[in-house]
Amino acid sequence: MTHDIHIIGGGLAGSEAAWQLARRGFKVRLSEMRGSGEMTPAHQTDGLAELVCSNSFRSDDDTKNAVGLLHHEMRGLDSLIMRAGEVARVPAGSAMAVDRDVFSAEVQRTLAEHPNVTVIRERVDALPTSGATIVATGPLTAQSLAESIVGATGQDRLAFFDAIAPIVHHDSIDMSKCWIQSRWNKRTEASNEDGDYINCPMTKEQYLAFHQGLMDGEKTEFREWEADTPYFDGCMPIEVMAARGVETLRYGPMKGVGLDNPFDTSEEFPQGRWPYAVVQLRQDNKLGTLWNMVGFQTKLKYGAQIELFRTIPGLENAEFARLGGLHRNTFINSPLVLDRQLRLKGGDHIRFAGQITGCEGYVESSAVGLMAGLMTAAQLAGREWAPPPRTTAFGALLSHITGDAEASTFQPMNVNFGLFPPLHDVGKKVRKEAYTSRAKADFAEWLAGMEAVPA
């Protein structure tokens, strides 16, 4: 079968993109490496859309939860992943969990039976030089193709080691204990008026207790296929630094020099003394709703992270959009290398989709694959594609990975309300419901407009 579009990768994103294109009448060649004699270190089968880790698609609550809202929007677009998820669904309370074997088999059966889809078991070693293409090879992209992507994007724009620092919702930070300032009051043209960092000061006693907590906290172990991935200086886990000596962090990411604590003033230090140690947070999105804990990539287990990080002054009630982690991964710096329609800058016949774009999670990966399919369908039909509003889960996620995230600190992230344009005129107790209500109304209007346009 001659094809209109070549999709590389038969995971969640590639399968969803193939479905969206096929049901709109386009011929799809879906290349999947597994089943050709090749296998990744993490997969167990050659089934399309195999779930490698958890069997959960997380919360299905579309009234108070961002991922549940994403489920709602995907269902509105007849998502294959949501369809198969319902077929394979198992009890999980308010979450959506599936029988992973039934789920993968349902995705594979649906695509195999569609006359517009041809699944080819083959390894693709290089980006195609022409023809509409979607690359959805996920976080375990084969080395040869990864090298081709490096050639197209630049060596510094593809990560093979995912060093993740926690991200905190700004409105959960107690600013009565913190202050905003850049070290030595240094400014750039892009600096905020008062500075670029939120500073959480620590006394000697607080610091020593925090250091001991890092040493004692329960940590996750590398999986076998990650174990030979070396640490890089720029992504050293904070507990590894702490193990080098009790003072190491005070001369690294927690140094207090050049920062004047306004809560510790005296006649001698009218501007405030330098704190014994400090935890800095840096703005992580253009909306200013998410702040990254600088230098806090960690292998602490999630429960240990929450318990320990809430001992930091100002973060006692912190709500985390993402917790820290460190593992092998492959993803591009999407805000730098992709345009707003997921196309590679300088090679606009190629789109990227799924986790390789820097989204995190099964549902988010599928959603980006779905959008890549819709964008490509519009392009093949010769019409403009209207993006979903940024107030929707689709729009917020797409905006984040294609330009709204800070490229210098870009890391994979799940969908969360911190990615949405903020609501300033509603109380905190009803804010989540307000986000979902606004999103549903805007999504319905966008969907009606899209359905009025022929494929």
- Write out the binding residues for FAD: 9-14
Beta-bridge partner residues of 412: none
- Show the beta-strand stretches assigned E in 299-453: 320-322, 325-332, 343-344, 347-352
- 35 burial (CB, 10 Å; 0-12 / 13-18 / 19+) is middle
Task: Give CA separation, 422 vs 172, 288, 417, 426, 440, in Å.
Answer: 14, 9, 8, 10, 16
Extract the annotated binding site.
Answer: 9-14
Q: How far apart are CA 126 and CA 141, in angstroms?
A: 11
Q: How far apart are CA 20 and CA 9, in angstroms?
A: 15
Distance of alpha carbon 8 from its chain centroid, rounded?
21
Q: How far apart are CA 405 and CA 365, in angstroms?
A: 17
Count CB-CB contacts under 10 A for residue 180. 15
Pairing of strands 277-283, 290-293: antiparallel
Under DSSP, the state recorded for 426 is S
Query: Is 3:31 a contact under the CB 8 Å cutoff?
Result: no
Q: Which amino acid type is present at position 324? A: G
By three-state DSSP, how is residue 135 classified? strand
Under DSSP, the state recorded for 230 is P
What is the per-residue burial (b if ≥16 Cβ within 10 Å, else e) of 379-411? bbeeeeeebbbbbbbbbbbbbbbbeebeeeebb
The tally of CA atoms less than 13 A away on the side-chain side of residue 5 is 34
Q: How far apart are CA 137 and CA 354, in angstroms?
A: 8
Query: Is 21:28 a contact under the CB 8 Å cutoff?
Result: yes
Q: Which amino acid type is present at position 362? A: Y
The tokens describing 315, both together, are 């973060």
Q: How far apart are CA 220 and CA 266, in angstroms?
A: 44
Q: Residue 239: what are its φ and ψ, rounded to 5°?
A: -70, -25
